[in-house]
Chain A
Amino acid sequence: MYFGYLSAAGLYGVTLFFFFGPGAFPGGSILVAILLNLLIGIGIFGAYSMLGSAMPRSGADYVYQSRLLSPALGFTATFAGLAFWQFFFAFLAASTIISGGLVPLFSGIGAITGTHGWISAANWLAGSHVSLAFTVVFLLISAVIMVRGMRLYLGIQKYFMIAFTALAVLLIAIGWLAVSHSTFISHFNKFEHAVGGLSASQVVGKAAALGYHQHIPFSWGNTLALTALLGIGSYLSCMWQTELLGEMKSARNLGRLFASMMGAAVMLTVTYLVAFVWTYAYVGQPLMGSFSFLAFGHAGVLGGGWAFRGVQSFFLIPFLNVFLAILIFLGFLGPISQSMFNTTLASSRIYLSQSFDRVLPAWMGQVNKRGAPANAIWFGTVISIVLAVIFLFHPALTEVLAAGYMFLTLSLIWSLLAAIVFPYRMKETYEASPASRFKVGNIPLISILGAIGFAFMVFTIVEFLTQSAFGILAGTAVVSWVTAAVLAVATLVYYYVISAIRKRAGIDLRWAFRTVPPE
């Protein structure tokens, strides 16, 4: 549950969504999107937990897709479409510790103490070469932690990440209750002045001048688009834990599996709601709407280096207190760094599973004495570091992030399709699983839930392909498409080449995906 909550980047995801969502989809209701997201999540998490309790294996998405749809599709979709893109997010998370965590903290301390040295330090940290060096260090530290086994990592998660995230949510709520709106505006202006940004009234004025309307009529289309935007992050994150099912003692327990995913989603919804109230009842619609409008379409106008300073600053502003700023930073650090862990953890388990099936080389599936697939973890870390270096020299490639989200979503679609066909394609395994107890009339519930999730994810892909705000339609997106296409074709070709090689050694790769009949 914590894994999923933190994976959804908790506070950080919230702020990204709140600050950029309304600007990207004017007229969309955040509140309705939050509630719809939770509702659809019931279907998706239900389908996933039923699949998980029936086949509690490491590399779950790969297992479902390869067994229930097609081995070649399962391998391609999860290797090229899921695991690879996760390394992008590992690198992104590591660099966000700096841009979204340390830089706002240093800026905040500078603004609070009036010491320009802190702001200079923030600007120095935000420099690409310095940022790269720290990114690499963070990636290496996270790899060492993961290679040392789940026990150490879970300890860090439980006693540091979750504890401080909860504290940060509490502080945000206290800030909202204890610090008046006028004080917030005064602190906002003080902070902005220190970092060279616009004051609150200037933000509102500039946005209005650039065409922002305070009262945009409600739009169902943009509300659904917001739901899709929110869903990508939260569904993927809450389900990332399924890639580690092979290591969970209670993975066969359908109720516990569903509760852990749904629990993460509920925690996330509560965080969203706290932040929603904070944003619109406390900061106020005029400032937030204007800020979001500028942040999404005219970031340069905002000044103050918002492009790299990160939205954590907003939560430091009510207090403008060094000690509380550090606590809020620590609260953000957990969710931000979790993405660095979960993406590599999940990918390494997918590789482990693919290695067990002999599709990937045996060395990739080797586990150390602590039970960690060390080679797969280091493999992923090296790719993340290479990506970090590439993006240092070609920052425009950050638009590949949009493609990353889309291909992650696409790989989720295949698993939901697998859920729909599960009772019919693997009848015996289905009958033996807890999922078989649940039917609506004669239709297996897993097929219904899978269909709900599948339909929503197809809608999300359509949004990706039709809404420019999702980023994949940008003029430079050709890099994303080419990267994705090359990866997919290369992966598919690799699958058939390795099948031929194994056949020469007396092994038919397809055996890994078939079930022996008992009769």
Chain B
Amino acid sequence: MPRFWKKGERAGQPLRIFYASDFHGSDTTFRKFVNAGQFYHADVLICGGDLMGKTVVPVVADGRGSRFAYLHGQRQEFSSREEIASFRTALGKSGAYTVECEPDEYEILSKDSGEVEKLFNKLAIERLQSWIGFAQERLTGSSTRCFLGGGNDDTEEFLAQLADMPGDNLVYSESGVHPLDDRHVVVTVGYSSPTPWNTPREKTEEEIEAAIAAVTAEVPDLSSAIFNFHVPPIDSTLDRCIKLDATVWPPAPMMDRGQPVYFGAGSQAVRRAIEGMQPVAGLHGHIHESRGVVKLGETMSFNAGSEYGEGILRGLIVAVRDSRVAGYQFTSG
């Protein structure tokens, strides 16, 4: 039978990367991410940041043996431990943190936003630690390595938990350069350009440019680097989202003739870095709805998207061979 491709081109198995980001506290999504290594036969797992959740929901004792909680403004009542457990598990899947508290504790939380923030950080760190435990248990003994970086929603205190992860399989990759195999490295920068939400790790374009310059200075051969930059390049179609009015709180979608106004919310600095340095690939998240792929010069840049709220893992498999993207596949499930 004749062959329709060059003989020998198949030599050497590609490095298979599974990338996903923006889990925002979702238990299910993170667990799927860790399991994706074995499921997709990936050599490395790369997380593009935004591990931290967004909300905390108190489950309050009502003084009569039952508990209640407010979810999306609606009061929900629970009369048994099973109902409470089921509620907390469901919220954990979607990324929210829950805590059982007494009426007086709830009263304090209702009045003091500082207390809410303290509680939120505590719960976020607890969940992150449980994730680290889960990942360690699953990956220990396997050859899969998992690189966890930060995003704009992750606080420095939260990310500090990743600095001392046990074992060899888990690597904290934020603002660093790490080898993926004997040829390719991953370069991680998790900052984002300013957003209307005023999140913890937003930087100006100049600061992002400086951060990229500092970390890429350590890379001997940029043509073998994979950029794991949380924010996508500006106006690349990977950053298209609804423009929000930051003059109101919470920021509201801007409308024009009854239709939402879309714009590119990416970073100039990231675009300049990719176009100038031409790495193998750019891996991005941040704009959940702009999943896609685009070629900037010779570099293929991806946004894997996110659907963490539904417990759906949106991911991306990139097969890299000889400093080239040999193939890629978006995944969802």
Of the candidates B16, B35, B237, B326, the one whose C-beta lies within 8 Å of that of A367 is B237
- In the complex where A429-B312, A504-B5, A511-B317 touch, is A517 in contact with B35 (Cβ < 8 A)? yes
In the assembled complex, how far is the CB of residue B208 from the closest CB belonging to chain A, in whole angstroms? 22
For the A-B complex, the count of residue pairs with Cβ-Cβ distances under 8 Å equals 102
Which of A83-91, A290-298, A355-363, A466-474 lies at the interface with chain B?
A: A355-363
Indicate whether A368 sits within 8 Å of B237 (C-beta atoms), given known contacts A511-B329, A518-B28: yes
Residues of A within 8 A of B32 (CB): 516-518
Residues in A29-60 with C-beta less than 8 Å from chain B: 57
Judged by a CB distance under 8 angstroms, whether B73 is at the interface is no
Docked pose: A366 CA to B300 CA in angstroms: 13
| B259 at interface by CB-CB < 8 Å | yes
Q: Residues of A within 8 Å of B, CB-based: how many?
A: 38
Binary interface profile of A, 366-381, with partner B (CB < 8 Å = 1, else 0)? 1111110000000000
Q: Cβ of B327 and Cβ of A369 under 8 Å apart? A: no
Stretch with Cβ within 8 A of B (4 or more), from A130-138, A151-159, A225-233, A319-327: A151-159
State whether the Cβ of B194 lies closer than 8 Å to any Cβ in chain A.
no
Complex Cα distance, B39 from A149, in Å, reads 37
Q: Which of A151, A506, A512 contacts B321 (CB under 8 A)?
A: A506
Q: Find out whether the CB atom of A365 lies under 8 angstroms from the CB atom of B292.
A: yes
Closest CB in chain B relative to A285 CB, distance in Å: 44
Partner of A514, one of B14, B39, B293: B39
Does residue A502 face the partner (Cβ distance < 8 Å to B)? yes
Instruction: Give Cα A155–Cα B237 distance, bound, in whole angstroms.
Output: 23
Question: Chain A contacts of B331 at CB under 8 A?
Answer: 511-512, 514, 516
CB distance from B282 to the nearest CB of A (A): 15
* Cα–Cα distance between A509 and B319 once the two chains are bound (Å): 13
Contact of A516 with B35 in the complex, beta carbons under 8 Å = yes
| CB-defined contacts of A511 to chain B, threshold 8 Å | 40, 317, 329, 331
**Inter-chain contact B319/A507, CB cutoff 8 Å:** yes
Partner of A369, one of B13, B264, B311: B264
Q: A369-B235, A371-B240 are in contact. Are A516 and B36 (CB under 8 A)?
A: yes
Instruction: Give the interface size class of chain B.
Output: 35 or more
> When the two chains form their complex, are residues A506 and B264 in contact, meaning their CB atoms are under 8 A apart?
no
Instruction: Assess whether B64 is interfacial by the CB under 8 Å rule.
Output: no
- Contact across chains for B326 and A505 when beta carbons are under 8 A apart: yes
Report chain A residues within 8 Å CB of B319.
505-507
Chain A window 52-80, contacts with chain B (Cβ cutoff 8 Å), 1 for yes, 0 for no: 00000100000000000000000000000
Q: Does B88 contact A (CB under 8 A)?
A: no
CB distance from A66 to the nearest CB of B (A): 11
**Which residues, 192 to 217 on B, are CB-close (under 8 Å) to A?**
none
The digit string for B32-57, where 1 denotes a CB below 8 A from any CB of A, is 11011001100000000000000000
* Interface flags, A327-360, vs B, CB<8A=1, else 0: 0000000000000000000000000000011100
CB distance from B20 to the nearest CB of A (A): 10
A519 touching B264 in the complex, CB below 8 Å, given contacts A505-B326, A506-B319: no
A518-B293 in contact given A367-B237, A512-B329 (Cβ < 8 Å): no
- A366–B238 CA distance with the chains assembled, in angstroms: 11
- B90: nearest residue on chain A (CB-CB)? A432
Q: A358-B328, A369-B237 are in contact. Are A519 and B31 (CB under 8 A)?
A: yes
Question: Bound complex: CA of A328 vs CA of B141, how far in Å?
Answer: 74
A518 to B114, alpha carbons, bound, how many Å? 34
Residues of A within 8 Å of B9, CB to CB, are 504
A371 touches B257 (CB 8 A): no
Give chain B residues whose Cβ lies under 8 Å from the Cβ of A508: 329
B10 CB within 8 Å of chain A: yes
Fill in one digit per residue for B305-333: 1 if any A CB lies within 8 Å of its CB, else 0.
00000111100010101000011111111
B93 is an interface residue with CB less than 8 A from chain A: yes
A215 CB–B CB distance under 8 Å: no
Residue A394 lies at the interface, judged by CB distance under 8 Å to chain B = no
Expressed in whole angstroms, the minimum distance between the Cβ of A431 and any Cβ of chain B is 9
* Cβ-closest chain B residue relative to A507: B327
Q: A369-B240, A517-B35 are contacts. A507–B317 as well, Cβ < 8 Å?
A: yes
Per the bound structure, the CA–CA distance linking A388 and B163 in Å amounts to 64
Q: Of A249, A252, A507, A519, which is in contact with the most chain B CB atoms at under 10 Å from its CB?
A: A507
Known: A357-B329, A362-B293, A516-B32. 4 other contacts (CB 8 A): A357-B330, A502-B329, A506-B14, A515-B333
28 interchain pairs (CB within 8 A)? A151-B256, A151-B259, A356-B330, A357-B329, A358-B330, A362-B293, A367-B237, A368-B237, A369-B237, A371-B237, A371-B262, A433-B310, A502-B329, A504-B10, A505-B327, A506-B321, A506-B327, A507-B317, A509-B329, A511-B331, A512-B332, A514-B331, A515-B333, A516-B36, A516-B333, A518-B27, A518-B31, A519-B31
Top 4 closest pairs, chain A to chain B, by CB: A505-B327, A515-B333, A506-B319, A507-B327
Task: Give A contacts to B, CB under 8 Å.
Answer: 57, 150-151, 154-155, 158, 249, 252, 356-358, 362, 365-371, 428-429, 432-433, 502, 504-509, 511-512, 514-519
